[in-house]
Amino acid sequence: MGRARLARLHGIATSYAPSPGKSVQTADDTVVAVLAALGVDASTPYAVRTALAAYEDGAGRALLPRTVVARPGRPPDLTGLPEGTVLRVETEGGGTADLGAPDPAALARLPLGIHVLEARTPGGRTARTALIVAPDRVPAPPGRSHGFLVQLYSLLSRRSWGMGDLGDLADLAAWSGRALGTGFVQLNPLHAAVPGPPTDPSPYRPSSRRFPDPVHLRIEHIPEYADLAGTARLRADELAARAHALRSEVLERGALIDRDAVWALKREALELLWAVPLSPGRRAAYCDFLAEQGQALEDHATWCAIAERHGPDWRGWPEGLRDPRSPGTARLRHRLLDRIDFHCRLAWLTDQQLAAAQRAARDAGMAIGLVHDLAVGVHPSGADTWAQQDAFAAGMSIGAPPDAFNARGQDWGLPPWRPDALAAAGYAPYRELLRGLLRHAGALRIDHVMGLFRLWWVPEGRPPTEGAYVRYDGEAMLSVLALEAQRAGAAVIGEDLGTVEPGVRGALAARGVLGTSVLWFERDYGGERDATPRAEAGEAADGREAADVVGGPGAALAPEAVPDGSGPGPAGGGNAAREAAPGPGAAARILAPGEWRSGCLATVTTHDLPTTAARLTGADVALRERLGLLAGPPERERSRATYELAEWMGELVRRGLLPEGQGDEEAAVKAVHRFLLRTPARMVGVWLPDAVGDRRPQNLPGTWDEYPNWRLPIAGPDGRPHTLEELAASPRLHALMRELSDGSR
């Protein structure tokens, strides 16, 4: 009982429900391991008693919580303060406010921001803590809009260096906003990757979520490029010629996108540009950026510089360098000042081009512009875990528990944030992360948004079945999100696909966070909508939440994902993709357009699902059959897919959305998007490869090297890559987008 109580005090669930009516107890060894990761020894009865006593003497007797959260609709609970306690607030702007006796409503009326709250009792006890005063809601998207969803690396133009870049992004935004009336472009995470070779191509296993990856830079758009002269100019021209050949291999000869080859060329070009003196104005802008980013950027650049010497896994570095604040690290920082400056410069250049892309989107009339993506976690050996070791739970990985369709559970190989450390820091790591991502965004997509409330922790060396749910302060996480989003004037989209803990969707909607609704999965599964298990969309690193509530027939229609959208790999996590769909006739009723929620981004498909053309032609089943990923006999799977497709085509015909008749692939693609336009969804997203009939998914959950995840350029029905210039001239794309432009009016 003592250990269970200790677990509850630290937000650790001692059981979970893999299916209705079934409860599984968390193993004692797991509870002990998770508590240890939170700095609590529960290995023996004596240790448990000691830990409980320490809690009562510490957190149990503390005057104030580690962080206090207030907002207009929800003042904080301060009922535990001794009588006669007086409060004082030091505001974020440098002012002070003596509040006198505790008045929670007065705290909620303070200016929005991150303040310091001080409590003083008549007996002389004092306490100081962070006070977060947040708005009730995040900003709503301005009106209804439609836009593209795209994986940037897959969008190559005739100017790209072998993969899509920020120049291509700016061009896509400028063209689509002006010519097609789009309101946004949603991207894959652009976070900094762990350097290779080989570099993990997944955008969802980054080294750092705080800074973007300079591999996305358009080299020719860097102002210093025009100042290259002499041998540096000749070398730059040689690199550009090699980049042209690399691009041609992808676009004309069927080669895969090779991130490492692209980066090798760009890195050498960037070394040349770094040697070019900045103009006075550019130097001043760079210094402002350094001052604004502060210690976080210095740590990131230091990690990059040390990784050049000792490799990208800081856990294997010489012991003195594993601590970013050690004397050994300080000495090496001094010796590596040039390399640290180089990596700081790259972060600044990337930030500038991101700003330029957002300006291009807004100048083109986009109401939202860029929608950036926040991955659910970071690589255990990357820059963020090195720089913020106290914020991450050592020896733990997030994943998903076993459920009715996946008895093995999942381990994504991504270390979780410690909820206690976040609270003790006033959520500073989370705030800084959001602020960086929102710098040049009209909206932010949060991968596996359910992780703001709880995550499945798996102790290192144990199977995912032996994990436990650990709870986060959802009120605090949402309040920080609302505050930073309002400061940036940005909307927020939560990726809430899959089974969601009851109450979570309601809490998100109450704070103005949009959900994600995928056409194929919007069905009436019965019961409370918030507990409805939606199909697992195989989102990379999106933390496919395992079922606490498993629905009836038709509840799961797509593969469960692993963190990088692939099978077992370096992270040691993942399982084969699964199809848990019912047989013909068992699927739940398709929701009518009017039954959809308005607070969502509505799409037909995602980057982890079959493209629409693949579903319509059966290419998705054929691909999974070829790779041995079908859950049942091929005949059964083909029958199921045929039945589901016929069901949808019948629905579209009945609603008058397929006047061209069945059997026309392009007409069917238009029809499913016409369906989306009938819903009240605030945002309607078009998967860009769908616009030209691409048959290939960008990521196939359940595969590692069996399929080229994250390495495919956008292509037409025949598999021939399409450049951005060809996309802009595509009659098929324009015909589809006319449907959305006309239907959005």
pLDDT reported for residue 562 = 37
Radius of gyration for the alpha carbons in the chain, expressed in angstroms and rounded: 26
Give the position of tokens 């860009």: 688
Judge whether residue 265 has pLDDT over 60: yes
Under 8 Å between Cβ of 666 and 680: no
Query: Beta strand 208-212 with 191-192: parallel, antiparallel or unpaired?
Result: antiparallel
pLDDT reported for residue 611 = 98
Q: What is the pLDDT of residues 309-346, one digit of tens each?
A: 999 999 999 999 999 999 999 999 999 999 999 999 99
CB crowding 610-626: b at 16 or more within 10 Å, else e: bbbbbbbbbbbbbbbee
Judge whether residue 104 has pLDDT over 80: yes
pLDDT reported for residue 527 = 52
Q: CA 466, CA 501: separation in Å to the nearest integer?
A: 20
Q: CA 266, CA 712: separation in Å to the nearest integer?
A: 20
The least confident of 524-528, 588-592, 641-645 is 524-528
Q: What is the pLDDT of residues 213-250, one digit of tens each?
A: 999 999 999 999 999 999 999 999 999 999 999 999 99
Give the position of tokens 């005949």: 635
Judge whether residue 567 has pLDDT over 90: no
- Residue 387: which pLDDT band, with cuts at 50, 70 and 90? very high
Arithmetic mean of pLDDT, 102-122:
94
| Dihedrals phi, psi of 6, to nearest 5 degrees | -60, -40
Under 8 Å between Cβ of 474 and 507: yes
Judge whether residue 6 has pLDDT over 50: yes
Longest dimension (CA), the chain: 81
Arithmetic mean of pLDDT, 668-672:
98
Judge whether residue 699 has pLDDT over 90: yes
pLDDT reported for residue 561 = 38
3-state secondary structure (DSSP) of residue 392: strand
pLDDT reported for residue 525 = 81
Judge whether residue 113 has pLDDT over 80: yes
235: which 2 tokens? 């070398």
CB crowding 314-341: b at 16 or more within 10 Å, else e: beebeeebbebeeeebeebbeebeebbe
- Residue 18: which pLDDT band, with cuts at 50, 70 and 90? confident
Judge whether residue 656 has pLDDT over 80: yes
Q: CA 16, CA 4: separation in Å to the nearest integer?
A: 14
pLDDT reported for residue 587 = 61
pLDDT reported for residue 482 = 98
Q: CA 132, CA 477: separation in Å to the nearest integer?
A: 10
- Residue 638: which pLDDT band, with cuts at 50, 70 and 90? very high
Q: CA 215, CA 711: separation in Å to the nearest integer?
A: 14
Q: What is the pLDDT of residues 497-510, one digit of tens each?
A: 977 889 999 999 99
pTM: 0.92
- Residue 545: which pLDDT band, with cuts at 50, 70 and 90? very low
pLDDT reported for residue 35 = 98
- Residue 44: which pLDDT band, with cuts at 50, 70 and 90? very high
Under 8 Å between Cβ of 499 and 534: yes
Identify which of 38-42, 106-110, 571-575, 700-704 has the greatest average pLDDT: 38-42
Mean pLDDT of the chain: 91
Q: What value, to the nearest 5°, has the Cα angle with vertex 10 and ends 9 and 13?
A: 90
- Residue 626: which pLDDT band, with cuts at 50, 70 and 90? very high
Judge whether residue 578 has pLDDT over 50: no
3-state secondary structure (DSSP) of residue 456: strand
Under 8 Å between Cβ of 539 and 447: yes
Cα-Cα-Cα-Cα dihedral sign, residues 431, 517, 640, 626: negative
pLDDT reported for residue 528 = 45
Judge whether residue 566 has pLDDT over 60: no
Under 8 Å between Cβ of 269 and 239: yes
Arithmetic mean of pLDDT, 737-741:
95
Judge whether residue 580 has pLDDT over 80: no
Judge whether residue 744 has pLDDT over 90: no
455: which 2 tokens? 């995550």
Judge whether residue 531 has pLDDT over 60: no
The three state secondary structure string of 658-702 is: CCCCCCCHHHHHHHHHHHHHHCCCCEEEEEHHHHHCCCCCCCCCC
pLDDT reported for residue 57 = 87
pLDDT reported for residue 743 = 64
- 198 cis-preceded (ω within 30 degrees of 0): yes
Under 8 Å between Cβ of 540 and 203: yes
Give the position of tokens 């045929």: 642
Arithmetic mean of pLDDT, 641-646:
96
pLDDT reported for residue 405 = 64
Judge whether residue 597 has pLDDT over 90: yes
- Residue 288: which pLDDT band, with cuts at 50, 70 and 90? very high
Tell me the CB-side half-sphere exposure of residue 563, using CA atoms within 13 A.
28
User: Which of 532, 537, 503 is closest to 519 using CA atoms?
Assistant: 537
Judge whether residue 575 has pLDDT over 50: no
Arithmetic mean of pLDDT, 40-55:
96
Judge whether residue 582 has pLDDT over 70: no
Arithmetic mean of pLDDT, 90-104:
92
Q: CA 353, CA 216: separation in Å to the nearest integer?
A: 9
pLDDT reported for residue 287 = 98
Higher pLDDT, 18 or 128: 128
pLDDT reported for residue 132 = 98
Arithmetic mean of pLDDT, 695-701:
95
- Residue 579: which pLDDT band, with cuts at 50, 70 and 90? very low
- DSSP character for 402? -
pLDDT reported for residue 60 = 77
The least confident of 193-207, 288-302, 352-366, 515-529 is 515-529
User: Which of 627, 606, 619 is closest to 561 using CA atoms?
Assistant: 606
Q: Which helix (H) or strand (E) holds 590?
A: strand 589-590
The least confident of 193-197, 205-209, 332-336, 381-385 is 193-197
Judge whether residue 683 has pLDDT over 60: yes
Under 8 Å between Cβ of 393 and 399: no
Under 8 Å between Cβ of 64 and 423: no
Compute the CA torsion angle 548, 553, 554, 556 (nearest 10 deg).
Answer: 30
Q: What is the pLDDT of residues 412-441, one digit of tens each?
A: 999 999 999 999 999 999 999 999 999 999
Higher pLDDT, 297 or 531: 297
Judge whether residue 533 has pLDDT over 70: no
CB crowding 62-100: b at 16 or more within 10 Å, else e: ebbbbbbbbbeeebbebeebeeebebbbebbeeeebebe
User: Which of 539, 559, 555 is closest to 547 using CA atoms?
Assistant: 555
Q: What is the pLDDT of residues 50-65, one digit of tens each?
A: 999 999 988 878 999 9
Distance of CA 368 to the CA centre of its chain: 18
Under 8 Å between Cβ of 656 and 570: no
Residues 6+ apart with CB under 8 A from 572: 411, 413
pLDDT reported for residue 526 = 72
Arithmetic mean of pLDDT, 170-182:
98
Judge whether residue 530 has pLDDT over 50: no
Higher pLDDT, 528 or 680: 680
3-state secondary structure (DSSP) of residue 340: helix
Q: What is the pLDDT of residues 143-159, one digit of tens each?
A: 999 999 999 999 999 99
Q: CA 116, CA 90: separation in Å to the nearest integer?
A: 5
Distance of CA 121 to the CA centre of its chain: 43
Judge whether residue 600 has pLDDT over 90: yes
